Amino acid sequence: MPPNTIPTRIALIQERITRAEQRFDREPGSVRLLAVSKKKPAAAIRTAYDAGQRAFGENYAQEATDKIKDLAGIIDIRDAEWHFIGPIQSNKTRLIANHFAWVHSVERLSIAERLSGQRPPDLPPLAVCLQVNVSQESSKSGLCVSTGLEKLSELALAVAELPRLHLRGLMTIPAPSQEFTAQRQPFRVLREALNELNAKGLTLDTLSMGMSDDLEAAIAEGATIVRIGTAIFGARDSAL
């Protein structure tokens, strides 16, 4: 296999995931790879699909919908799984509700209500994660938990009641850090938040956390979905 191709890079990331599962006593296959294809052409997604990748993450509703429609005639759209992971504008909720299986980036009840109301009846409920800010940086999106979990549990309990959503878990994008122990810390906060919500009667099973530089730390703390873009598809044109 030639180096530096999308299939090779997917295989390398899968190897890292498998090694981390073994090293941290995680069940084999319990961590899924989400290939983040934002700003990448449909042809690159197709190459990844042909290499066996099925879950794709996108950040821009219109761009993603155009690509999903482009690919519909080529790949089995029921088989590919589209995850929305970017900031959600309220005028884009209908596109997201129509074309995606998952949304990782819900941080407000009003957005969740729109997604539930607009989810087409012939599709299964939209899987949802709440985005949490665990780094105490006002610049990072997500619901802040540094002052306690009241706001998060209030939102989680309300979202769990929405008929066309299926609340699955939590997502975070921590501030980058280089050292393994420091990398684990915010992921531990997210895992503990999930455990507390489950202690309140929810049944959440998803931690969307970990990117190319910190996926081992995330898997050590219980990640079930890691989100990898550049390490699979190469650098994007603009710094997004």
Ligand X SMILES: *Cc1c(COP(=O)(O)O)cnc(C)c1O
The residue among 85 and 165 lying less far from ligand X, judged by its C-beta, is: 85
User: Which DSSP state fits 158?
Assistant: H
- CB of residue 103 vs ligand X: minimum separation in angstroms? 11
In contact, 20 and 220? CB cutoff 8 Å: yes
Burial class (CB in 10 A: 0-12, 13-18, 19+), 138: exposed
Note the residues at the interface with ligand X (CB under 6 A). Answer: 36, 38, 59, 85-86, 173, 211-212, 227-231
Return the bridge partners of 83, or none.
Answer: 57, 102
- CB of residue 186 vs ligand X: minimum separation in angstroms? 14
Helix spans in 51-168 (H): 61-72, 93-99, 109-118, 150-160
- CB of residue 225 vs ligand X: minimum separation in angstroms? 10
3-state secondary structure of 69: helix
Q: How many CA atoms lie within 13 A of 52 on its CB side?
A: 8
**Which residue's Cβ has the minimum distance to ligand X?**
229
- CB of residue 42 vs ligand X: minimum separation in angstroms? 18
The residue among 185 and 230 lying less far from ligand X, judged by its C-beta, is: 230
